[in-house]
Amino acid sequence: MTEDLFASPDRENLAPGAVLLRGRALPLEGPLLEALDEVTAQAPFRRMVTPGGYEMSVAMTNCGEAGWVTDRKGYRYDPIDPETGRPWPAMPAAFRRLAAEAAVDAGYPSFAPDACLVNCYEPGARLSLHQDRDERDFDQPIVSVSLGLPATFQFGGPKRSDKPRRIPLQHGDVAVWGGSSRLHYHGVLALKDGDHPALGRRRINLTFRKAL
């Protein structure tokens, strides 16, 4: 028998090093949504272009020391927002606090993110299966926070051909991806239409990384 010493109704161990904390963001909902508006006022959502020339269906922005960007030249982290020519907005205190606390809960007590990618899904938007490999240190976990409309997350394995599991994600859920799952393929199925009381017809995902 396998004993789970950290079992709890709000906690799901998805894989070695990967933990889903259901509702973990809800106590900070107000401050998170206020901070989100401040970030997007300074660095508006935009649909970026992949190196292959396709416009992504997910609109993105960033905060923190570095932001994830894509264009015809490739994927990278950049300290400057190419749309505004200014540094990305600072990472709000509520964002930083939630990311650090969730990482502690998941067993990563020294996680110090320097980048937060903010993804905005409208109905139909999706993220095809991919790996997150643009960061320097794959020993650092990634913390992701789901807000707004529910979505179906695809959690695959180390090979693109590994059949992904479907994990429903709801407003307030936080997932921490580290250990041997850090380089697993993952994606998000096309968002279904709906109306969320706080965010309307949108899903927002905050992804915290130590990129530099």
Binding mask 142-161 for ligand MD3 (x = CB under 6 A): x-x----------x------
Measure the CA–CA gap between 119 and 76, rounded to whole angstroms.
16
Q: Output the six-digit token pair for 51.
A: 């190196």
Binding-site size for ligand MD3 (CB under 6 A) equals: 16
8 Å CB contact between 81 and 66: no
Measure the CA–CA gap between 139 and 208, rounded to whole angstroms.
14
Residue 31 or 179 with smaller CB distance to ligand MD3: 179
The residue from 81, 132, 135, 173 that contacts ligand MD3 (CB under 6 A) is: 132
| 188 interacts with, out of Fe ion, ligand MD3, none, CB within 5 to 8 A per kind | ligand MD3
Shortest separation between residue 142's beta carbon and ligand MD3, angstroms? 4
> Which stretches of the chain bind Fe ion, using CB under 5 A?
132
Give residue 34's identity as a one-letter amino acid code: E
| 116 interacts with, out of ligand MD3, Fe ion, none, CB within 5 to 8 A per kind | none
Q: How would you classify residue 124: left for phi > 0, otherwise alpha for psi between -120 and 50, otherwise beta? A: left
Structural element, H or E, at residue 183: none
Helix runs in 142-197, H state only: none
8 Å CB contact between 156 and 163: yes
Residue 61 or 181 with smaller CB distance to ligand MD3: 181
Residue 61 or 144 with smaller CB distance to ligand MD3: 144
Span from 44-52, 82-90, 96-104, 182-190 in contact with ligand MD3 (CB under 6 A):
182-190
Residue 94 or 119 with smaller CB distance to Fe ion: 119
32: Cβ contacts below 8 Å, ≥ 6 apart: 25, 94, 95, 98, 145, 147, 206
Shortest separation between residue 67's beta carbon and ligand MD3, angstroms? 12
Question: Is residue 182 within the footprint of ligand MD3 (CB under 6 A)?
Answer: yes
- Nearest 10 degrees: Cα torsion 89, 207, 53, 150: -120
3-state secondary structure of 33: helix
Binding mask 11-30 for ligand MD3 (x = CB under 6 A): --------------------
Residues that bind ligand MD3 (CB under 6 A): 117, 119, 127, 132, 142, 144, 155, 175, 177, 181-182, 184, 186, 188, 205, 207
